[in-house]
Structures are given as C-alpha cells and as structure tokens.
Chains A and B, each alone.
Chain A
C-alpha cells in the first residue's frame, strides 16, 4: 500500500470560495505531483515539485497554486473556485532516481465540485 494521503476525498462548494486540497506522503519522496483528471479522461500534470521550496507549473495551465514547505506535504490551493474547476485532483509522489523516471505512487484523489 502506498503511503500517500489526500483530503478531502469529496468536496462540494460554491463559486468564489477558497479551497485547499491536502496531500501528504510518508515515504520521504523528493518528487511530488498534482494531476487533474476529468471523468473517463486522461491525466494532465498541473504542478510538480522536486523538493522543499521547489514548485513548477505542469503541462496544463491551472489557476491553482501549490507550496512545498515540508518534504511530506504538497497542498494545492484555489483562491476563488469556479464551476470550470470541477474535476478530480490526484496527488502523486516518486523517488528521485538519477537518469530514470520512477514509478508514481498516487493518493486516492480529491473530487471537487463547484456549484
């Protein structure tokens, strides 16, 4: 079992609210990622981090922001949620391996619905 946890699993909120999706891992992995996935669709990388104080935007433009103050914690924040943000958000982590793209360990996901 992967030791990576996401909360909340489900969230329904109104437009304009600020939300933070939490992601924590206990494996000591340097690399962490946020993917966005619409139902039945492919995953799109929206943010990644190589370590503490390192964050980068991914392939899919997102209005969300992330922070990496501690190795184990990689929260995602939306300052003002809109219906277009309705989606599933998946957090993942991996070991840093020189010259190898390692396997990802995923959390169970946070399904966000913005009314």
Chain B
C-alpha cells in the first residue's frame, strides 16, 4: 500500500483563510518533503523537514513532523488564489544502496477570491 497518504483529498477555502493538509506514512524516514504541483505541470519543492526536526517555517508555510505518530502537516497561512494547486508530501527513505522519495496521494487545494 502507499507509503504516504494525505488528507483531505480536496480542500476548498476563501482567500485569507489558512489551509492545513495532513500526511501519514508507514516506515521510518530520513526526511519528509512537501511539493506543489500546478495543473498539468511538474512538481516544485516547497520545504524539507529532517526526521530529528519537529517544526519548520518558510514564508507563509509551516510544516510539523511527529515521528512517533508518523505524521506531518503543512499549514499555508493567509492563502491566496495563486496557492491553488495540488500539494504532495514525500517521504525520504534510505534503503540499502538507494535513496528514494515516495510520494503521497496529494491534496487538491482550491482558494477562491
């Protein structure tokens, strides 16, 4: 089954509101990363949080990580219409001989003006 699962699958809010997306995973991780994808485009890296970190900020983004619960959340504050996109968490795994990222199912965010 998928390593990372996100909820909600879709989120619709008004401009100025905060958006929170959650990610759960199954195995031990090296780090957890969040990416954004505009419709029909490639993914863009937003933020990386290491397994020994609990919280990280970048501009209007706040990411938390709880390794005991194997979960992470992404908070976008004061959302804008331009934040409309799909957001994916990705768990960084250090398997023997290979490092890889496993992507979650994604949350589709719609921010209405």
Contacts and interface: CB of A to CB of B under 8 A. Distances in A.
Interface string A2-30: 10001000000000000000000000000
Interface residues of B, number: 28
Contacts of B35: 104
Given A101-B99, A103-B48, A42 B104 contact: yes
B45 interface: yes
B55 to A, nearest CB: 19
Contacts of B33: 103
A109 B41 CA distance: 6
A90 interface: yes
A67 to B, nearest CB: 19
Given A42-B103, A45-B100, A56-B98, A100 B31 contact: yes
Given A42-B88, A42-B106, A104 B101 contact: yes
Interface of A: 2, 6, 31, 35, 40-43, 45, 48, 50, 56, 58-59, 88, 90, 92, 99-109, 111
